Structure 1
């Protein structure tokens, strides 16, 4: 075995040992009740998504454009500093998102933790799943459904600050003139999501 092969073998062993140690840390933190927020990333047609969950449910989905490290810092500040990468705890969520992108799922069944949204924003988010798969609604229509017909800008703000894009479908909210408007994941991602749903 030459020196290059030896280092490659050691790197592989080191990576495997590191992965096992991390899994043991996650298991120990879970068993001791010390893991408040678990997270993982998944690759999707709209880019890498960060998924984070508490014991109550899915608390955050973030696009890469939101800076995953910054999102994790905010979760540590706003939810709990006891946060670890624990992919297995989010396997069910990842599976549902993969099914959605494969057009095998039109609604999500995962429990949600809406603690990052308050007041009118939470009210708006609770109405978004009422916009059916493959359908859209205007910001004005959502404002009316939320009981505040003049709060069109507040609906836009709630959608822009949606902590659970894709699963809580703010991408289905468009301008009154039919143009799609802005989106936390970018206009291209919004186009892709709407096209995915309309093609099903």
Structure 2
């Protein structure tokens, strides 16, 4: 796996890719040395991105600037991901910019609301956050809930704010500030 670290308006991201596609993405928030160690774990090493990976990096930079970006067509390498998690991620890729869902809603789509905790675990194990938009999954009360990226739920709220979403605010009231 090849990797690269790049700066955005949100901070430094790390990306890892194979010939099949993006295999890993590290969100901003780690110290520089920790970011390098995390993105280059398991034998990964810095490389030069192909045109396709460079285009993904450009989209991430645009997202960080607040531009509406869709990552649903980005080639991914999810070979090390369990079938259950892949099914969760496939559903999540249908949740577009500025939209949200809940852990329970995804579990119902998977056939059993009892899978909510398993959905949460899948979100926490997401190897390519942002591209697979786990930040768009909220708790049942509409609040941010957890987030395994550096900065936790605050990072999730910041990403959602770029998309015009304020977790915990009833629909239709965002513009009025209630």
Alpha carbons 1:62, 1:164 under 8 Å: kept: yes
Segment of structure 1 superposing worse, 57-66 or 158-167: 57-66
Q: 1:104-149: CA deviations, max 9, x gaps?
A: 3431132111123112111111111112210111100011112232
In 2: Cα distance, 1:104 partner to 1:45 partner: 11
TM-score of the two chains, using structure 2 as the length reference: 0.79
Alpha carbons 2:9, 2:65 under 8 Å: kept: no
**Runs of 5+ consecutive residues of structure 2 not aligned to the other structure:** 166-178
> Is the counterpart of residue 73 in structure 1 residue 41 in structure 2?
yes
Q: 1:32-75: CA deviations, max 9, x gaps?
A: xxxxx11101223443211000000000001354943144223x
Report which of the two structures shows the higher radius of gyration computed on alpha carbons: 1
Alpha carbons 1:46, 1:192 under 8 Å: kept: no
TM-score of the two chains, using structure 1 as the length reference: 0.71
Q: When the two structures are aligned, how many residues end up with a matched partner?
A: 156
Q: Mapping of 1:32-111 within 5 angstroms?
A: 37-63=1-27, 64-65=29-30, 67-68=34-35, 69-74=37-42, 76=43, 83-89=44-50, 90-108=53-71, 109-111=73-75
In 1: Cα distance, 2:4 partner to 2:68 partner: 21
Offset of residue 87 of structure 1 = 3.5
**Runs of 5+ consecutive residues of structure 1 not aligned to the other structure:** 1-36, 77-82
Show the counterpart of 2:168: none
Say which structure is richer in helix.
1
The root-mean-square deviation of aligned C-alpha atoms, in Å, is 1.9
Query: Structure 1 stretches (4+) deviating beyond 6 angstroms?
Result: none
Show the counterpart of 2:160: 194
Q: Do the aligned partners of residues 144 and 52 (structure 1) sit closer, same or farther apart at CA in structure 2, a change above 3 Å counting? A: same
In 1: Cα distance, 2:102 partner to 2:45 partner: 38
> Is the counterpart of residue 165 in structure 1 residue 129 in structure 2?
yes
Alpha carbons 1:116, 1:163 under 8 Å: kept: no
In 1: Cα distance, 2:120 partner to 2:135 partner: 11
In 1: Cα distance, 2:7 partner to 2:148 partner: 17
